[in-house]
Amino acid sequence: MELKLYDTLTREKREFVPIDWQDSSILADRRRVRMYVCGPTVYDFAHIGNARPVIVFDVLYRLLRHLYGEKRVTYVRNITDVDDKINARAAERGISIRDLTEETYKNFKDDVAALGCLPPDVEPRATEHIDEMKVLIERLVASGNAYVAEDHVLFSVPSMKDYGKLSKRPLDEMIAGARVDVAPYKRDPMDFVLWKPSKAGEPSWPSPSGIAAPGRPGWHIECSAMSWKHLGESFDIHGGGIDLVFPHHENEIAQSCSAFHTSVMANIWMHNGFLQVEGEKMSKSLGNFVTIRELLRTDRFGSQRWSGEVLRIAMLRTHYRKPIDWTVAGLVESEKALKTWARALLPFMAKGFDDDSNSSTEFVPRAMLVALCNDLNTPAVLAELHRLVPRVNEGSYEAARALLAALRFLGIGHLPIFGAMAAIEETDDVEKLEKFRDFVVDQMESKVQQLIRRRSEARAAKNWAQSDRIRDELAATGVE
């Protein structure tokens, strides 16, 4: 099945062929699909805008694993744990930077697990890759692409002839968009920081080769270093929000391509669209700034608690490249959809239908996979799920199996009976409700025991990555 993805660099939908599959010298069992996505800066709870790229690229990760095999995909999503916002928030709260980043990172992991997202294969921290950043900076200085000035190291933008090829902006727009600091030591207004001195109380490391003052890296060099470390000089897919195209991703390309003397950092650049809340830009000043945690607990805009499945469906109702308007009405519609699917599957669930064999990806409808392979057309996928409901209601085992498999594939219903409890929450039949609750408990206990057994097996085999993934899945169900 042909996978086509929209490439921001070329502004066209392109057939996706992994780099390793184009190189006949790489043995088949060593081929990997490699994807890097910019992750959170861990200084506060993640807001609902942060959830969009996490969910979008989780769906792509699932699709790639289906097409190429689970062990053939390496998904890297970084953690930025050194940043001005982190320093300021730690000082504001009177705690150490490490304590702040550890707390915020845990909150982020818990929140995205509740949204049904699989953990990436690698979650590198910026502070653990300072050496790689120094190597890149030293290379850039040696090649003439960077220079030292007043204890800073800066990238020389004019040294890269095709700078701006990703954002395709005129120079004056790039200068405005970059919010460049006016500094007398810059050779060009567009030059950006690779290394800068640290202020008192801020994290600090010896500079690359001792060429500048002790300090810390600039934001852009972090992702170039981490993607290089875990995916190589060039890799398949680089993703993130549309707000990162310029200057962050533009500068990543400049650094990586200059350091490695290559024309390509990533074969495909993917970006999800902006998110608004009730038709307005999300802003604390407007009072419409909402975090994932708030929506999962109590929604200030609707006085209601929303499940992770509902939030995920609401996000997938809009194509990832289009702007999305996050509204209470959209959440209500998403919850209705979840209840519709749950009610349809409930008779099958009660007969022990909910097991791994019936949720296998081999039962995912072909029409759904075709839609996903068409640049992740999730609205078309959800429409396909609704088309299955009448047949499921008529008692079709095949349709029910396809619906369950499709929901699991999308990361909806990652718990044994997902939103089925919500489907009967208005019932007056107390006895029926109690019996169903007993069924839920039994199913949960069975699922948890299976996960614990699989984790023990993974640990015994020293498969630490698999062990950690199962641990995170258990954590999502409240089990530690």
Of 340, 351, 358, the closest CA to residue 400 belongs to 358
Supply the Cα-derived Rg of the chain in whole angstroms.
24
Buried b or exposed e, range 221-237, using 16+ CB within 10 angstroms: bbbbbbbbbbbeebbbb
- Other beta carbons less than 10 A from residue 279's beta carbon: 9
Q: Which of 442, 320, 358 is nearest to 55 (CA)?
A: 320
Pick from 156, 154, 151, 153: nearest CA to 199: 151
Helix H or strand E encompassing 34: strand 33-37
For 50-87, the pLDDT digits (tens) are 999 999 999 999 999 999 999 999 999 999 999 999 99
What's the pLDDT score for residue 392?
A: 95
Pairing of strands 235-241, 266-272: parallel
pLDDT at 358: 65
H/E segment holding residue 131: helix 130-142
Gap between the Cα atoms of 364 and 420, Å rounded: 20
pLDDT for 471: 81
Q: Tokens for 282?
A: 């999300």
Q: What is the pLDDT of residue 449?
A: 77
In angstroms, the CA 122 to CA 39 distance is 11
The 3-state DSSP class for residue 226 equals helix
Which residues does residue 193 pair with via DSSP β-bridges, in sequence order? 154
Give the bridge partners for 324, in sequence order: 275
Coil, strand or helix: which one is 312? helix
Sequence-distant (6+) residues with CB within 8 A of 414 are 116, 408, 473, 476
Averaged pLDDT, groups of 10, the chain, 480 residues long: 96 98 93 97 95 98 96 97 94 94 95 93 97 98 97 96 90 62 86 95 94 94 98 98 96 98 97 93 79 76 70 97 94 90 80 66 93 98 97 95 93 58 49 51 63 86 82 66
Q: Mind giving me the DSSP string for 261-279?
A: T-S-SEEEEEEEPPEEETT
The pLDDT, as a whole number, for residue 436 is 47
pLDDT value of position 170: 74
Q: Which pLDDT score, from 0 to 100, does residue 477 have? A: 55
Strand partners for 270: 239
The predicted structure's pLDDT at residue 301: 44
Q: Which residues pair with 197 in a beta bridge?
A: 215
Strand-strand pairing, 73-77 and 12-15: unpaired
Output the pTM of the full model: 0.87
CA distance 65 to 26: 19
Give the distance, in angstroms, between the CA of residue 127 and the centroid of all CA atoms in the same chain.
20
DSSP 80: B
The pLDDT assigned to 201 comes to 86
What DSSP assignment string belongs to 160-202?
Answer: STTTTTTT---HHHHHHHHT----TT-SSTT-EEEEEEPPTTS
Look up residue 255 and give its two tokens: 């650094």
Pairing mode of beta strands 146-149, 152-155: antiparallel
- Nearest alpha carbon to residue 322 among 281, 283, 277, 275: 275
pLDDT at 347: 80
For residue 43, give both structure tokens: 């200084």
H-only helix segments in 318-463: 328-349, 366-373, 378-393, 397-409, 420-423, 430-460
User: Which pLDDT score, from 0 to 100, does residue 370 have?
Assistant: 97
CB 439 within 8 A of CB 350: yes
Q: Using one digit for the tens of pLDDT, what is the confidence trace for 322-349?
A: 999 999 999 999 989 988 898 888 788 7
Q: Where are the alpha helices (DSSP H) in 27-96?
A: 48-68, 84-93
Q: pLDDT tens digits for 138-151?
A: 999 999 999 999 99
Region at 206 (left for phi over 0; alpha for psi -120 to 50; beta for the rest): beta
Tell me what pLDDT residue 423 has. 45
* pLDDT score for 179: 53
Q: Cα(297)–Cα(300) distance, rounded to whole angstroms?
A: 10
